[in-house]
Structure 1
């Protein structure tokens, strides 16, 4: 009897929260006759044993970034690896937003501060912003993010603390996030699959569920679709999966983040989402066998 084709879905060993959706993808793949293993990226396994390695939910990568990137660079030379290493390397630091802004992609204005910067408070004061969000340039799930007035001493202490540890980004607080949330457009194989709106809890700005955020179906506008596709056209290589997070800024959609390493894809929100992803992975697997 011929063995079922197998792929591996890469996860993390230490997760900030339980993975709420990989089981949907595993079940959809099974319906297509594909067996999926779920293995932490740091596990001592022979990654070449799988013809397709899918970086899915390594939600601890940002705490061990050099080690994670070394693993990804080595593994992508052994087997088919998605998203491609070039995309992961580009997307792991939010500096990619600066590059996209320079190419004409609408983004939220950002002050970029390098690790060890000695005059971070002065640079922030020079911007003349009121309420801001201060966050690490390498992180996930709003970990390390603080919303405060730019002149608040607590904000400046937090800023100095972050700069001492790594690169930092500061943005003016986008009021539409508190009012309308963020929109996420999900793509598989470069094709639009589904969209959701993430709404923060009352009084909060963080849309993630670990902070009380909620998820709602969303019908994207033409402007949102056009912006998401413009972002995807500028990635270093084509993506197998992508989540493009948008906010309303100055009356139009603006890119908040392009999530191309480990995004929650909200596979349980719409019935077809997991199968859309599974079909793309099955086709990628067939291309390798």
Structure 2
């Protein structure tokens, strides 16, 4: 199982997080990662006269010192979720936190998929399996063919397994997941193999850009560190409509969002609504980092 720090190689020195000078905006990251998108946003904010710093969440930073605290890449939160959300609540008391703390709490557990489905959003069918559930073979017996098993608190395909529902390894993996926390079971979507996922990015609720993420040959995971390939695309009207429905059914206004869609029986369906630490693919669309910076300026105002 890869660590969150395996998401990106440290090929570029991270922005200086030790500078104690005043900042207008703090971009929140994790404790062992470098977010390659952070320099793009720092530069765009600087061009607009706004000073930004990149700092890890938690202790060690005076969160009251900056008017705006932007949660961007705390990829290690999945192993310290309760601690992360406690920090977010404390930071929100002294700084404007985006995305807001109630959004972070809502989005941290993928049980939100059931709430979106109940609100009428087309969602990949998802079964929530609470921690400690017994008779996991019976749970998997409700599915035909291949399934995807994943932790309910996860990111970047960490802890995910694709397997036949009746395979002994599926029960074993689900047993391990539910020993540690809640889990999800979803039918495998075959279109992922040849069409991948489409990710639509929004700033302040306004559509910015989209990318297609395709898995490497022989894999089903679309992330770049698993060999996946990413390219800019134009979303279809149907994809834009599903994304808009997902955002409208969410917990409130957000500064940034990534809506991940797959083709399910010929129509777009939501795979995930990413509101905490998504890659925003800023380098894939001219002006994307600037659009994000412009929206953050409205929050500063």
Q: Considering the TM-score relative to the shorter chain, is it more than 0.5?
A: yes
Residue matched to 1:151: 166
User: TM-score, normalised on structure 2?
Assistant: 0.91
Deviation digits for residues 141-172 of structure 1, max 9, x if unmatched? 00000011111111111111111111000111
Q: Does 1:107 align with 2:123?
A: yes
The aligned counterpart of 2:87 is: 71
- More relative contact order in 1 or in 2 (CA 8 Å, sep 6+)? 1
What do residues 68-117 of structure 1 show as CA deviations (whole Å, max 9, x unaligned)? Answer: 01000111111111001111010000000000001111111112100000
Is residue 52 of structure 1 aligned with residue 68 of structure 2? yes
- Report if aligned partners of 2:23, 2:66 keep a CA contact under 8 Å in 1: no
- Tell me the equivalent position of 1:173: 188
Partner of 1:119: 135
Unaligned runs of 5+ in 2: 1-20
Q: CA deviation at 1:4?
A: 8.4
Corresponding residue number in structure 2 for 1:221 = 236
Aligned residues between the structures: 281
Does residue 202 of structure 1 match 2:217?
yes
Q: Cα distance, 1:5 vs. partner?
A: 6.1
Gaps of 5+ in 1: none
Structure 1 residues 49-74: Cα deviation after superposition (integer angstroms, max 9, x where no partner): 01000000000001100100100011
CA deviations 1:200-256 (Å, max 9, x no partner) are: 101111000110011111101111111111111112110000000000001100000
Matches of 1:204 and 1:79, distance apart in 2 = 42
The residue correspondences of 1:135-284 to structure 2 (distance < 5 A) are 135-284=150-299
Partner of 1:228, secondary structure, is helix
Other structure's SS at 1:76 match: helix
1:36 aligns with: 52
Runs (4 or more) in structure 1 with deviation over 3 Å come to none
1:4-23 per-position Cα deviation (integer Å, ceiling 9, x unaligned): 861100000023xx422111
Deviation at 1:128, TM superposition (A): 3.3
